[in-house]
Every structure is written in C-alpha cells, then in structure tokens.
Amino acid sequence: MSNLAQPPKGTRDFLPEEMILRRKVMETIRECFVLYGFVEIDSPVFEYFELLSRKCGEEIEKEIYTFEDKAKRKLGLRFEFTSPLGRYYATNREKLTKPFKRYTIGKVYRYENPQTGRYREFYQADADIIGSYSMNVELELLDLAIFTLTKLEMGSYEIILNNRKLLDGIVNAAGIGEGKKDAALRVLDKTAKIGEGGVIKEFKENGINEENYRSFMEFIKFDKGLADMEKLSILSKRLNKSVKDELVKNQAIEGAKELLSILENADAVGLDFIKYDPLLVRGLGYYTGPIFEIKSKDLSIGSFAAGGRYDNLVELYGTRPEGACGISFGVERIIDIIMQRDEKALQFLHSPVKLYIVYLSENERLYAYKATKTLRLKGISVELSVSASPNISKEIKYADKKKIEYVAIIGEKEADEKKLTVKNIKTREEKLITLEKLIELLNNNYI
C-alpha cells in the first residue's frame, strides 16, 4: 500500500466506535472542569516560534514542529498549552476576571519518537489558574484531578509531588553550579527510564561529576518508614546547614514549606494518596514551585496527568508577574489505560444516536420525515434510513453495527395510526406507541 494511504508517523485515524469512547472521555473531563468553575478559551494551533521556545528548555525546542510561512516568519505548532496561555493572558489580562480559571481541550504536536502512550499528534486537556500565589490553587487542581479521574473510573493511580525551589537547593547543596543546574535536572528527570548508570553517564557528558550525583542522592536519603512531612522537615534542616547562597537556601526552605502546606491540607480534606517524590523533576524549564504527576500503579504507561506552578511565565510576554499553576490531562494515555484495563470497553458503548427510523415504502416517507423532524426538535438524536427499498433485517443489522439501541419501523399500519413500532435491538422487544409516548420514554432513557 502506498505511504500516502497511511497517516503520517506518530498520528492515527480513529474508527467511529473509537470516537464514541474518545468523545465520552473528553466530555467527562470538560464537565468536571466546568463543575469546578473553569471557563473555556481557545487560541491558535500555531504561534511564533520564539514564543513557544522561550524558557521551555533546549530539550523541548528539538520537539517543536517549525515552519516558515509565505512571509518568511518562523512559526511552530503548539507542543503544549501553557506557553500559548502566557501570551493569551498578557494580551487579554485587562478583560479577564482574576483569578483567571481557564480550561482548554485540543490537539498539540511534538516531534518525538512514537511509542506506547506517546504520539506526535495528541489531545491534551488543561486547567489553569492565574492570579494567586496561594497553595490553595494546588489543592484545588489536585482535588479536580481526583474528582475527574474518579468520574473516568481510572482505577489504581498515585499522585507524586515535588517543588522546583526545593530541587534547586538540593542541586546547589550537591555542588552543582548554577550553569549546570538545568542540565542536571533534565538528566535527573530521566532516572526512571535510564537508571543510575545512565544518569551518571549523562552527567559526565554534561560536565557534571559522578560525585555530584552521589551527593544529590545522599541528600535525599531517608530512614525507611518516615512520613513525607518528616522527610521535608529533615530536608529543611539539611538545606539550612549545606546551602551557602542565602537566596537559594531561603527559596528552597520556602519550597519545602509549600509542600508541607499542600500535604497537611490534602490530608485534612481526604486527599491522602498524594506523596512526596524527591526525584520528580518535570522537564519544562518554566516551573517555579510545586510540581506533580499522576501515574498508574498497575500499568507501565508513564504519567497520564501532570502540572505545576509557573509564577514567572506571563512576565515573559510583557506583563507583570502573576501567580500561576495548572494541570494537564493526557487524553490519549487515559484512553490507552481504559482500553488496557478492559479490552471490551468499546463493545459496551452506545451510539449518541438514540433511534434509527426505517419506513417501508414511499407511502410512509412523509410521516417518517415529520416524525424524525419532531424528535430532533425535541433534542433527540435520530438517524433516518436513506434506503430506497429497505430490508428490515439488513436495516436492523446496520443499526446494531452502529451501536444504536432502538429501531423504529413505519409501515402502512403505523402511518395510518400515527404510531411507530419501536424495537429494542438487544432484547428484541417491540412496542407500538405514539410519537408523544416515544419522546417521553427516550427523554427518560427508558423504553
């Protein structure tokens, strides 16, 4: 088969039944965002490359799809929604109610190696709050995450938490200079993938000694059985002794206090499976405070939601700094997890079309058209057969393949009595009922 007949590498086509599940997941996420008071915005799928690459780190720059338009301007496809949000907020801040709680669901693009749970074109669903430095923002976003994942029936997962201020202090205490800090954090972010040997190798390639790595790991070593809040208290004491730069020290201790605040309050409101992970880094360079990831406990698919605080980002786009934090749900990975947990997940989904109407001859066409229009005006999704000479058995098979639950048959008797014979495809039960009764039953999801 010609390559032109295949979607480009890292992209996919989706069958209608797959789209039912995808739409269900995205609509569930959207409903949860709205329940928490977030408002929807939209922005261009491409931006100026300079905007996308600003403070995102050189690793991400390699993954941005770039192109020149006809006026020779360098543009790039968005690789996430946070950088475009910074530009959007700077442009519209005077028109926005603060704190500004926004959500967006859409496609993003990354030029990376496709693998399980990782694609070049994929959907993300983001919720962000701009205009507050309070750790209540983090709590709200983590609570939103748990609420949403419960609605999606995501099963067993864990939320891990860290703080970039705290990491900066530990890097400093390990003897890694400011000029090597970003490189060290990028490599440490890969620890789970490449292991200790890989981290040491890449440290050396970036001009960082193995001793620095050992010092970092020793700094975050704790006795077994210690609670997270005890670990953070110990870290604060270690930082106070080891970090010579007063500014770095104070910010690192502040980072530990921020995590303590989140953990204490999370425990008080029942979010008791949020855990501190000293090796969580999050690769994007714009994070300034708490960071978090959500991972499946029983499937090796990587994180499927993540986020953090980025208080300095909007300043890059010409406005004063604002407290800001957000979370992003990886829609593709969530769907992959649902499918891995239940291979038959697609089989039990119903079509958004509630009813399929078949008329048996041209004599019943007018009544069928009028009935269909009435149902649609009542907000009921209906498909009308377009067959010139319908075969009832084939029509029912057609509806069944499309996962439509009910078929309404209109023959001479039904047209004369102004009724419809409605058949439940699964149970094979039939009812001869009026259009008014059919509307009532369908609106109540019972027929």
The string of pLDDT tens digits covering residues 186-211 is 899 888 889 999 999 999 999 999 99
Residues 28, 96 share a domain: yes
- Checking if the pLDDT of 268 tops 80, the result is no
The reported pLDDT for the residue numbered 136 is 95
- Checking if the pLDDT of 271 tops 80, the result is no
Tell me which H or E stretch contains 162. Answer: strand 157-163
Is 328 a domain residue? yes
pLDDT bin (cut points 50, 70, 90) of residue 286 is: confident
- Checking if the pLDDT of 35 tops 70, the result is yes
pLDDT bin (cut points 50, 70, 90) of residue 26 is: very high
The whole-number average pLDDT for the span 396-409 is 92
CA distance 29 to 147: 10
Is 60 a domain residue? yes
- Domain with residue 124: its CATH number is 3.30.930.10
Is 260 a domain residue? no
The reported pLDDT for the residue numbered 132 is 95
Strand pairing report for 157-163 and 274-276: parallel
Range picked from 5-14, 36-45, 155-164, 299-308 for highest mean pLDDT: 36-45
The reported pLDDT for the residue numbered 2 is 60
- Residue that wins the pLDDT comparison between 345 and 167: 167
Sequence-ordered list of residues with C-beta below 8 angstroms from that of 134, at least 6 positions apart, any chain: 323
The whole-number average pLDDT for the span 101-117 is 89
Is 255 a domain residue? no
The reported pLDDT for the residue numbered 156 is 85
Residues 145, 33 share a domain: yes
C-beta separation of 447 from 422 below 8 A: yes
Residues 150, 61 share a domain: yes
Helix axes 191-205, 178-188, angle to 10 degrees: 150
Is 204 a domain residue? no
Q: Domain boundary residue among 288, 323, 341?
A: 341
Residues 152, 60 share a domain: yes
In the predicted model, what is the mean pLDDT of the chain? 90
pLDDT bin (cut points 50, 70, 90) of residue 53 is: confident
DSSP H helical ranges for 206-291: 210-219, 228-242, 246-268
- Checking if the pLDDT of 114 tops 90, the result is no
Residues 332, 358 share a domain: no
Residues 368, 332 share a domain: no
- What does DSSP assign to residue 314? G
Residues 364, 337 share a domain: no
CA distance 258 to 253: 9
Instruction: Tell me how many domains the chain contains.
Output: 2
Q: How many CB atoms lie within 10 A of CB 307?
A: 25
Is 248 a domain residue? no
Sequence-ordered list of residues with C-beta below 8 angstroms from that of 33, at least 6 positions apart, any chain: 40, 103, 125, 127, 144, 148
Q: Domain boundary residue among 341, 367, 397?
A: 341
Is 196 a domain residue? no
The reported pLDDT for the residue numbered 348 is 63
CA distance 285 to 297: 27
pLDDT more than 90, % of the chain = 68
Q: Domain boundary residue among 341, 372, 402?
A: 341
Sequence-ordered list of residues with C-beta below 8 angstroms from that of 158, at least 6 positions apart, any chain: 273, 275, 294, 295, 297
C-beta separation of 293 from 262 below 8 A: no
- Checking if the pLDDT of 1 tops 60, the result is no
- Residue that wins the pLDDT comparison between 277 and 344: 277
Residues 432, 399 share a domain: yes
> One-letter amino acid identity for 426?
K
CA distance 171 to 425: 64
The reported pLDDT for the residue numbered 118 is 82
Query: Residue 90 to residues 20, 134, 242, 262: CA-CA distances in angstroms?
Result: 37, 21, 39, 28
Q: What is the pLDDT of residues 59-78, one digit of tens each?
A: 667 889 999 999 999 999 99
Among the ranges given (42-46, 348-352, 436-440), the one the predictor scored with the smallest mean pLDDT: 348-352
Sequence-ordered list of residues with C-beta below 8 angstroms from that of 435, at least 6 positions apart, any chain: 371, 374, 375, 418, 419, 420
Residues 88, 58 share a domain: yes
Residues 365, 324 share a domain: no
For residue 70, the enclosing domain spans 3-156+298-341
Residues 151, 71 share a domain: yes
The reported pLDDT for the residue numbered 347 is 66
Residues 98, 52 share a domain: yes
- Domain with residue 408: its CATH number is 3.40.50.800
Is 38 a domain residue? yes
pLDDT more than 70, % of the chain = 96
- Checking if the pLDDT of 176 tops 80, the result is yes
Q: What is the Cα gyration radius of the chain?
A: 27
The reported pLDDT for the residue numbered 447 is 61
The reported pLDDT for the residue numbered 58 is 59
Q: Which one, of 117, 191, 141, lies nearest residue 38 by Cα?
A: 141
